[in-house]
């Protein structure tokens, strides 16, 4: 709960270098908007997580998944977005100063147009895809899992480049994620959020 967190007590100011960020502090989206450096970062409950540059195979997998989703969603109300794309997770107030979690999923699908604005998305996407790369697995599987479940992401896809595997978490009626079996090469993955959609893993991992 945010009321249990000691909030960073400075007013948002422009910051030009990541090294000037006090990583022991707790920051809001209002602070985030003032950061002018090129380093990509995310906020999870006010804490800063620096994102590494995605590797080539990561990008190939992302392109294949997002492209398949894009082609399927043509003419449909849902839209697909790829990183960098800010998704804000408000608890109560949607004011910039009151939002402490801002993530950049590798791929996300949003079916409610009211959640979209010029900055990105505010509220949970319907589907979130995170592609695991060396060094980011712990963040994706621990911190982000909890955020996506808490805020009601309907499906969370975890894709491992190294293992060529796909795990899908589906939100149940009690608001808890239920894992699928582990999918891998030669298999096709479907989605309860997008009836009729099919993702061929041989095509996803064709590298």
pLDDT of residue 141: 75
Q: Kindly give the pairing relationship between strand 102-103 and strand 86-88.
A: antiparallel
Alpha carbon distance 16, 36 (integer Å) = 5
pLDDT, tens only, 133-152 = 776 767 667 899 999 999 99
Alpha carbon distance 83, 148 (integer Å) = 16
Separation of first and last alpha carbons in the chain: 43
Which candidate, 128, 122, 202, places its Cα nearest to that of 168? 128
Task: List the domain boundaries for the chain.
Answer: 2-50, 56-87+103-204
pLDDT of residue 10: 66
Q: Which helix (H) or strand (E) holds 130?
A: strand 127-132
> Under CATH, what is the fold of the domain 56-87+103-204?
tt1808, chain A (3.90.1570)
Average pLDDT of span 6-32: 85
pTM of the model: 0.92
pLDDT of residue 134: 72
Average pLDDT of span 113-140: 89
Q: What angle do CA 163, 129, 143 make, to 5 degrees?
A: 90
Average pLDDT of span 89-105: 96
Alpha carbon distance 35, 16 (integer Å) = 6
């Amino acid at each position: 709960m945010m009321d249990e967190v000691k909030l960073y007590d400075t007013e948002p100011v422009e910051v030009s270098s990541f090294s000037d960020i006090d990583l022991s502090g707790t920051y809001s989206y209002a602070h985030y908007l003032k950061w002018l450096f090129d380093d990509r970062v995310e906020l999870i409950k006010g804490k800063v997580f620096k994102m590494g540059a995605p590797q080539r195979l990561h990008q190939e997998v992302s392109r294949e998944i997002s492209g398949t989703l894009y082609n399927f969603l043509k003419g449909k109300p849902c839209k697909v977005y790829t990183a960098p794309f800010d998704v804000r997770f408000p608890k109560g107030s949607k004011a910039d100063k009151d939002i402490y979690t801002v993530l950049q999923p590798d791929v996300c699908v949003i079916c409610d147009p009211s959640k979209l604005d010029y900055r990105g998305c505010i509220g949970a996407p319907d589907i979130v895809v995170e592609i695991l790369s060396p060094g980011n697995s712990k963040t994706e599987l621990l911190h982000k899992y909890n955020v996506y479940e808490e805020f009601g992401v309907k499906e969370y896809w975890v894709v491992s480049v190294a293992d060529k595997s796909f795990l899908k978490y589906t939100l149940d009626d009690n608001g808890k994620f239920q894992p699928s079996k582990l999918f891998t090469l030669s298999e096709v993955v479907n989605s309860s959020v997008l009836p009729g959609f099919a993702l061929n893993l041989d095509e996803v991992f064709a590298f």
